């Protein structure tokens, strides 16, 4: 990488402009300058290359097969049918004929070549969706629980999340000049929240709606846990300092769960968020990028210090945290009746990849549904999709399309397969050490006979695969997780709960498939024999002492 630091690149970027315009015009290479590769993230895109053919291209003395990934900013993962059709058309025309639902309720396009990057960005914006701040050292796409029990709570939390996402956007015209050909200004706009250097690192926010923790609220830098009284959201418990990423062999990096620091009313949400963000801006570690996330700022300085810093900046004290209960962090598949008689259909999307294959025509099927659907779509944090707000008269039509295109088919037959997450990993992710998305069907095929043998096919278990320790599928909250170490080799992590409130523990290091299956077999046998009631696999492993609790686990405070 270049000698110039990310901090300098940001500071010298003229509000995120860099030399992106010039780089896009340069047809001699499919790549951008290194500094622009940093800056383009803030615009919602990453330069990648096709890793399956990297070596072949090198031998042919060709530059790597560069292309760009583009990520949307879709707070709460909501899109209309009209938007869906436009995104589908973009995936088909400019990308690799797939729409990828991410673990943060966004869409990703893969395989967009540089000469079509601008047209693709314009097409996305023509769908009234932008990509600004979907990546980069700023507040990213804001998540919202997509599986509400109470529909009015969902609408309120979504409105608050969308307002927050807007409030924390970088204040730059660069995005509009570069991608949408809007009039150029000199740069140097006032950036009141982020300042010239933006945040030390990425920043993530989620809104959870108890009793479902589908967003894994404690995995985020900042969380808002809806407190519902009399059917209305009266405010939120605020959690800070969660994060998943770590680096193999570097004890200075580790996953941590967020801690609840108090209660804020709905009116206080923006002030609290701004106080948390600016405290991290001013105190986050800018010297060591691997230690730059808010979780380390808090771990180094203490939660009490951080809470008072936030209150000082916000100008008010947080209230005492209020009671809440999370029951699970999974999605609820199939039809669910809303309060208003409208229904919502949650469909499984294995590893979030909507594409046409021999097994299911997910891209085509969803396109056909979008053509007739009058409600909206919600992406879930578990990489699935909800066809939301369906009147009774439309249900049969949607059911027929679901059946015709195999949209209700998961990656396997077990409850474990239905709840599985897998990050993208190879071939596009530049950081992948092992397969994840592409390995999921094979691993499920290996583990399902084992589950069947022990009578556990119907028992929900959270399986999470990540191609490296960065943890994009939030693997450290998996009851069973595989974290990539090398091709075909993983760290096997066990013992998280199914509510997103306990981290798992390293159980076997750097093992292949056979050793993973061998390690799980006796644990499944014991679990099947000794399970107490509806106890989860992770809870059982910790209770029985078969797996030791993660020493970094901070008890998630349910009530202050
Ligand atoms: Fe992630 C980097 C994909 C959610 C932690 N993540 C990446 C990159 C951009 C690789 C890179 O930097 O070159 C991956 C692109 C792969 C590709 O080809 O598409 C990538 N991350 C993803 C997605 C698409 C995974 C998925 O299968 O859905 C998710 C996109 C979310 C979105 O819409 O914004 C995604 N990433 C996450 C999550 C989960 C979450 O946020 O809830 C995490 C763990 C939570 C956290 O941030 O602590 C996560 N991604 C990382 C990290 C480690 C950050 C750290 O603190 O160390 C990296 C590497 C980095 O930032 O240096 C990373
Ligand atoms: Fe890539 Fe690692 Fe994230 Fe998977 S966990 S998408 S391999 S960075």
- Dihedral (CA of 140, 145, 147, 150) sign: negative
User: CB neighbours of 378 closer than 8 A, spacing ≥ 6?
Assistant: 76, 77, 78, 105, 146, 344, 385, 386, 388
- pLDDT more than 70, % of the chain: 98
Q: What angle do CA 83, 88, 91 make, to 5 degrees?
A: 130
Give pLDDT, residue 339: 72
**Residue 558: pLDDT over 60:** no
Residues 373-418 have pLDDT tens digits of: 999 999 999 999 999 999 999 999 999 999 999 999 999 999 999 9
The residue among 100, 34, 140 whose CA lies nearest residue 366 is 100
Q: Copy the structure tokens of residue 73.
A: 């900013």
pLDDT (tens digit per residue) in 143-175? 999 987 767 899 999 999 999 999 999 999 999
Is 135 a catalytic site residue? Answer: no
Q: What is the pLDDT of residue 560?
A: 38
Q: What is the pLDDT of residue 186?
A: 63
The alpha carbon of 466 and the centre of ligand 2 are apart by a number of angstroms equal to: 6
Residue nearest (by alpha carbon) to ligand 1 atom 24: 102
Find tokens 């919502």 and name the residue: 344
Task: Give the strands of the sheet with 99-101, arranged side by side.
Answer: 45-49, 66-71, 107-112, 99-101, 353-354
pLDDT digits (tens, 9 = 90+) for 416-474: 999 999 999 999 999 999 999 999 999 999 999 999 999 999 999 999 999 999 999 99
Q: Is 468 in the pocket of ligand 2 (CB under 6 A)?
A: yes
Question: Cα separations (Å) of 437 from 173, 423, 465?
Answer: 36, 6, 8
Ligand 2 centroid from CA 216, angstroms: 18
pLDDT digits (tens, 9 = 90+) for 500-551: 999 999 999 999 999 999 999 999 999 999 999 999 999 999 999 999 999 8
For residue 3, is pLDDT > 80? no
Query: If you average pLDDT over every residue of the chain, what do you get?
Result: 96
Per-residue confidence at 559, pLDDT binned at 50, 70, 90? very low
Check if 470 has its Cβ closer than 6 Å to any atom of ligand 2. yes
Cα(61) to centroid(ligand 1), Å: 31
Mean pLDDT of the 172-199 span: 89
In tens, the pLDDT along 114-141 reads 999 999 999 999 999 999 999 999 999 9
Tokens of 533: 């009631």
69 lines ligand 2 (CB under 6 A): no
Residue 150: what pLDDT? Answer: 67
Which phi-psi region, left, alpha or beta, contains residue 351 (left: φ > 0; alpha: ψ -120 to 50)? left
Digit-coded pLDDT (tens) for 97-110 = 999 999 999 999 99
- Is 472 labeled as catalytic in the residue annotation? yes
**Minimal CA–CA distance to 170: which of 13, 5, 381, 4?**
13
Q: Is 99 in the pocket of ligand 1 (CB under 6 A)?
A: no
Q: Cα(446) to centroid of ligand 2, in Å?
A: 22
pLDDT, position 148: 74
Q: Which residue from 508, 351, 514, 348 is spatially nearest to 446, judged by alpha carbons?
A: 514
Establish whether 429 is a catalytic residue: yes
Cα distances (Å, whole numbers) of residue 554 to 208, 258, 504 = 19, 8, 12
The two tokens of residue 367 are 């396109």
Q: Residue 484's beta-bridge partner residues?
A: 490
State how far the Cα of 344 lies from the Cα of 378, in Å rounded to an integer. 10
Residue 82 backbone zone (phi > 0: left; psi -120 to 50: alpha; other: beta) = alpha
Q: Which residues contact 337 (CB under 8 A, 6 or more apart)?
A: 343
242 token code pair:
């969660």
Q: In this model, does residue 33 exceed pLDDT 70?
A: yes
The CA distance from 207 to 118, in Å, is 32
Which of 472, 474, 485, 502 is flagged as catalytic?
472
Q: Give every CB contact of residue 358 below 8 A, 6+ residues apart in sequence.
A: none
Model confidence pLDDT, tens digit, residues 225-273: 999 998 899 999 999 999 999 999 999 999 999 999 999 999 999 999 9
- Choosing from 41, 468, 499, 502, the catalytic residue is 468
Q: Compute the average pLDDT of residues 35-61.
A: 97
Strands 353-354 and 376-379, by their bridges, are: unpaired
Q: What DSSP character marks residue 383?
A: S
185 is written with which tokens?
A: 């200004």
Q: What are the tens digits of pLDDT across the range 267-303?
A: 999 999 999 999 999 999 999 999 999 999 999 999 9
């Amino acid at each position: 990488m270049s000698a110039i630091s990310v901090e300098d690149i940001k500071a010298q970027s003229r509000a995120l402009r860099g030399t992106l315009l010039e780089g896009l015009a340069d047809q001699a290479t499919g790549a951008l300058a290194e500094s622009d590769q940093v800056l383009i993230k803030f615009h919602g895109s990453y330069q990648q290359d096709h890793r399956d053919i990297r070596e072949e291209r090198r031998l042919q003395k060709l530059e790597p097969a560069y292309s760009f990934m583009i990520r949307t900013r879709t707070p709460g993962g909501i899109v209309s049918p009209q938007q869906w059709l436009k995104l589908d058309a973009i995936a088909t025309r400019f990308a690799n004929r797939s729409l990828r639902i991410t673990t943060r309720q966004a869409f990703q396009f893969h395989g967009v070549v540089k000469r079509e990057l601008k047209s693709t960005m314009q097409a996305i914006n023509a769908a009234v969706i932008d990509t600004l701040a979907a990546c980069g050292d700023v507040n990213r796409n804001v998540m919202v629980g997509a599986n509400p029990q109470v529909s009015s709570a969902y609408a309120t939390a979504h409105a608050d999340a969308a307002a927050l996402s807007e409030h924390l956007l970088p204040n730059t015209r660069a995005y509009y000049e570069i991608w949408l050909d809007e009039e150029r200004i000199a740069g140097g706009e006032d950036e009141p929240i982020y300042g010239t250097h933006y945040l030390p690192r990425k920043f993530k926010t989620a809104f959870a709606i108890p009793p479902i923790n589908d967003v894994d609220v404690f995995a985020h830098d900042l969380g808002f846990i809806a407190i519902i009284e009399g059917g209305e959201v009266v405010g939120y418990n605020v959690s800070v300092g969660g994060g998943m990423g770590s680096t193999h062999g570097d004890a200075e990096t580790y996953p941590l769960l967020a801690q609840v620091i108090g209660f804020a009313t709905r009116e206080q949400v923006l002030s609290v968020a701004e106080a948390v963000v600016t405290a991290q801006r001013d105190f986050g570690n800018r010297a060591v990028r691997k230690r730059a996330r808010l979780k380390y700022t808090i771990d180094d300085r203490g939660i009490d210090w951080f809470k008072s810093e936030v209150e000082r900046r916000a100008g008010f004290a947080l209230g005492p945290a209020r009671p809440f209960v999370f029951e699970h962090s999974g999605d609820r598949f199939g039809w669910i009746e809303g309060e208003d008689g409208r229904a919502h259909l949650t469909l499984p999307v294995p590893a979030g990849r909507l594409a046409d294959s021999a097994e299911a025509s997910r891209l085509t099927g969803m396109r056909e549904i979008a053509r007739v659907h009058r409600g909206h779509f919600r992406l879930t944090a578990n990489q699935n999709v909800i066809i939301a707000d369906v009147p009774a008269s439309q249900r049969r039509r949607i059911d027929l399309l679901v059946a015709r295109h195999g949209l209700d088919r998961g990656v396997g037959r077990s409850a474990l397969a239905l709840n599985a997450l897998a990050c993208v990993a190879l071939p596009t992710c530049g950081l992948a050490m092992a397969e994840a998305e592409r390995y999921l069907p094979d691993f499920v095929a290996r583990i399902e006979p084992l589950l069947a043998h022990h009578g556990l096919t119907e028992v929900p278990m959270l399986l999470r695969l990540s191609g490296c320790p960065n943890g994009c599928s939030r693997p450290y909250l998996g009851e069973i997780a595989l974290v990539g170490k090398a091709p075909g080799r993983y760290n096997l992590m066990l013992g998280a709960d199914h509510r997103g409130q306990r981290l798992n523990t390293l159980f076997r290091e750097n093992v292949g498939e056979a050793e993973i299956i061998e390690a799980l077999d006796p644990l499944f046998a014991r679990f099947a024999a000794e399970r107490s009631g509806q106890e989860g696999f992770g809870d059982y492993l910790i209770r029985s002492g078969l797996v030791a609790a993660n020493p970094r686990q901070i008890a998630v405070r349910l009530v202050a």
